[in-house]
């Protein structure tokens, strides 16, 4: 089994690089890490050199990357994947350099999602310089699309050290590779793809301040503010250029007692399964009999 140590980055193709970078910095609040590279932009949220790379070209996710311990672990992973029948691409030194990693291999998961395994992802010592004070503290998780969530869990939990933390029926599986409730999620989709990228924010207030700010800017809010019963995080999903969905969340649960944790099974058809603030369908309080005398809705 291949030990993933963390999530590394998402690489995404963009037709309008400048627009995507402007949104990621001025709206989302990431840092654009300058470089001499043409046609590639690196966006930073935390100590990683970058967690999001926009590559000028056709729109759409290119690859989602995870870190392994070192070069030896990467070589073993390459062999393990080939033994399992996957065609593995070994990146060149230039491929590694543009990713700011020591080395990189790539392969397609059973659903066609391009995954990359990397070692020695570069860290930057200097503080993050956010494009806006959105409160981002770190790249929290990535969520892939796959037509069969159970099969995706089987793939990630047998090929890698991913463990299901919670299920939302056959619609989603939230998987951990360390104490964080999930760093990888799979959401049911007809085609392979990237469902969203998540950024953790420092305070609960950041979620709501960002919500107001995004509304003021006319950014499409896709879901929230709400609270996930799985990780307990308060969330906000919004749509960026070229179909990239971003999620802010605050308060993701850490699973510190690995042996004691048992995955929960939420029914996506039940209200509250994705947003626990959606109570049962309550009757509107505007019903006359519920309002005190003389109070008008
Ligand atoms: C609906 C998606 C897959 C989802 C569900 C739960 C959480 C969480 O518990 O934090 C997420 O982050 C999600 O993106
Ligand atoms: Fe998420």
Give the pLDDT of residue 247.
98
Detail the DSSP E strand segments found in the chain: 6-14, 31-33, 40-44, 52-56, 60-67, 89-90, 103-108, 114-119, 136-146, 163-168, 172-176, 184-188, 193-201, 221-227, 234-239, 245-250, 264-266
30 lines ligand 1 (CB under 6 A): no
Distance CA 31, CA 46 (A): 9
Q: Return residues with CB closer than 5 A to ligand 2 (ion).
A: 198, 247
- Would you place residue 297 in the very low, low, confident or very high pLDDT band (cuts 50, 70, 90)? very low
231 lines ligand 1 (CB under 6 A): yes
- Residue 221 is encoded by which pair of tokens? 């809010």
Give the list of residues 6+ apart from residue 248 with CB closer than 8 angstroms, or none.
134, 135, 136, 198, 199, 200, 201, 206, 207, 210, 235, 236, 238
Count CB atoms within 10 A of the CB of residue 137.
15
C-beta of residue 114 within 8 angstroms of C-beta of residue 159? no
Tokens 């995954």 -> residue: 115
* Backbone torsions φ then ψ of 215, nearest 5 degrees: -65, -40
Give the pLDDT of residue 290.
47
Tokens 């790539």 -> residue: 106
Q: What's the chain's length in residues? A: 297
Give the pLDDT of residue 35.
87
- Residue 184 is encoded by which pair of tokens? 């990888």
C-beta of residue 64 within 8 angstroms of C-beta of residue 116? yes
Question: Is 251 exposed, middle or buried, given 0-12, 13-18 or 19+ CB atoms closer than 10 A?
Answer: middle
Q: Which atom of ligand 1 is nearest to the CA of 223?
A: 1
Question: Of the candidates 138, 277, 136, 276, which has an alpha carbon nearest to the alpha carbon of residue 210?
Answer: 136
Decide if the complex's ipTM is over 0.95. yes
Give the list of residues 6+ apart from residue 36 with CB closer than 8 angstroms, or none.
none
Mind listing the pLDDT tens digit for each residue in 198-215? 999 999 999 999 999 999
User: Has residue 295 got a pLDDT over 90?
Assistant: no
Distance CA 199, CA 213 (A): 16
Determine the Cα angle at 209 with ends 168 and 278, to 5°.
30
Top mutation candidate among 145, 165, 172 for ligand 1, by most atoms within 8 Å of CB: 172
Determine the Cα angle at 21 with ends 196 and 64, to 5°.
35
Tokens 């995870």 -> residue: 66
Q: Which of 31-45, 202-216, 276-290 has the lowest mean pLDDT?
A: 276-290
Q: Name all domains of the chain by residue range, CATH numbers in brackets.
A: 6-119 (3.10.180.10), 136-287 (3.10.180.10)
How many whole angstroms from 2 Cα to the centroid of ligand 2? 24
Please, what sign has the CA dihedral across residues 10, 249, 274, 256?
Answer: positive
Mind listing the pLDDT tens digit for each residue in 130-173? 999 999 999 999 999 999 999 999 999 999 999 999 999 999 99
């Amino acid at each position: 089994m291949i030990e993933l140590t963390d999530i590394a980055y998402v690489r995404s193709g963009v037709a309008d690089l400048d627009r995507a970078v402007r949104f990621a910095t001025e709206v989302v609040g990431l840092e654009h890490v300058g470089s001499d590279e043409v046609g590639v932009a690196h966006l930073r949220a935390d100590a990683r050199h970058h967690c999001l790379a926009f590559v000028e070209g056709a729109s759409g996710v290119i690859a989602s990357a995870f870190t392994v311990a070192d070069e030896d672990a990467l070589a073993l992973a390459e062999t393990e994947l080939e033994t399992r029948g996957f065609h593995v691409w070994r990146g060149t030194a230039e491929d590694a350099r543009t990713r700011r990693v020591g080395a990189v291999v790539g392969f397609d998961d059973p659903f066609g999602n391009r995954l990359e395994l990397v070692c020695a992802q570069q860290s930057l010592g200097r503080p993050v310089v956010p494009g806006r004070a959105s409160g981002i503290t770190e790249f929290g998780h990535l969520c892939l699309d796959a037509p069969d969530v159970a099969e995706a869990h089987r793939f990630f939990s047998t090929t890698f050290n991913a463990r299901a933390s919670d299920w939302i029926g056959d619609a989603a599986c939230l998987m951990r590779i360390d104490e964080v409730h999930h760093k990888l999620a799979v959401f049911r989709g007809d085609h392979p793809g990237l469902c969203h990228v998540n950024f953790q924010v420092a305070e609960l207030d950041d979620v709501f301040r960002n919500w107001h700010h995004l509304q003021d800017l006319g950014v499409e809010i896709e879901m929230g503010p709400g609270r996930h019963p799985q990780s307990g995080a308060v969330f906000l999903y919004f749509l960026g250029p070229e179909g990239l969905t971003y999620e802010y969340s605050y308060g993701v649960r850490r699973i510190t007692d690995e042996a004691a944790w048992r995955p929960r099974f939420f029914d996506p058809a039940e209200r509250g399964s994705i947003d626990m603030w959606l109570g049962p369908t309550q009757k509107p309080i505007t019903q006359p009999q519920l309002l005190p005398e003389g109070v008008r809705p």
